[in-house]
Amino acid sequence: MATRFRFLPPAGTPVSLADVASTIGAVLAGQEVLEAFKASLCAKVGVRSCEFVSTGRAALTLALLALKELDGGHRQEVIIPSYTCFSVPSSVVKAGLTVRLADVDPETLDFVPEYLEQIDGTKVLAVVATNLYGLPNDMKRWRHLTEGRGIYLIDDAAQCLGGSVSGRQSGTWGDVGLYSFDKGKNVTSIDGGVVVTNSDQIAAAMSTQVKRLRDSTIGESLTHVVKLLVYATFLHPRRYWIPNSLPFLGLGTTVYRTDYPLARYDKWMAPLGSRLFAQLDAFAAQRRATAEGYAKRLPWSARLRPIVPQATAVPAYLRYPVLVASEFRAKVIDVLRREGIGATASYPSAINDIPELRDRLKPEDRALSGGRDLAQRILTLPTHSYVTGEDQDRIAAIMAEVLGE
Ligand X SMILES: Cc1ncc(COP(=O)(O)O)c(C=O)c1O
**Sites of contact with ligand X (CB under 6 A):** 55-57, 60, 84-85, 87-88, 130, 156, 158-159, 180, 182, 193
Residue placing its CB nearer to ligand X in the complex, 174 or 193: 193
Measured in degrees and rounded to the nearest 5, phi and psi for residue 210 equal: -70, -35
**Distance from C-alpha of 243 to C-alpha of 253, rounded to nearest angstrom:** 13
C-alpha span between 166 and 102 (Å, rounded): 24
Q: Shortest gap between Cβ of 148 and ligand X (angstroms)?
A: 26
Q: What phi and psi values does residue 310 have, to the nearest 5 degrees?
A: -65, 155
Nearer to ligand X, 177 or 271 (CB): 177
Q: How far apart are CA 275 and CA 292, in angstroms?
A: 26
* CB nearer ligand X, residue 84 or residue 164: 84
Q: Please name the helix (run of DSSP H) or strand (run of DSSP E) that holds residue 224, with its range, or none.
A: helix 218-234
Q: Smallest distance, Å, CB 393 to ligand X?
A: 30
Q: How far apart are CA 203 and CA 207, in angstroms?
A: 6
- Report the residue number, 138 or 156, with the smaller CB distance to ligand X: 156
Contact 318, 130 (CB under 8 A): no
**Which DSSP state fits 62?**
H
In angstroms, what is the minimal distance from the CB of 1 to ligand X? 31
163 vs 288: CA distance, rounded Å: 10
Least CB distance from residue 66 to ligand X, whole Å? 16
CB of 88 to ligand X, least distance (A): 5
DSSP 8: B
Report the chain's C-alpha Rg in angstroms: 20
Considering beta carbons, is residue 6 or 94 the nearer one to ligand X?
A: 94
Question: Which one-letter amino acid corresponds to residue 200?
Answer: D
β-bridge pairing 168-169 and 164-165: antiparallel
Length of the chain: 405
**d(C-alpha 275, C-alpha 190), whole Å:** 13
Least distance CB 9 / ligand X (angstroms): 15
Of the pair 156, 391, the CB lying nearest ligand X is at 156
**Residue 221 CB, nearest distance to ligand X (Å)?**
17
Residue with Cβ nearer ligand X (352 or 392): 352
Shortest-Cβ-distance residue relative to ligand X:
56
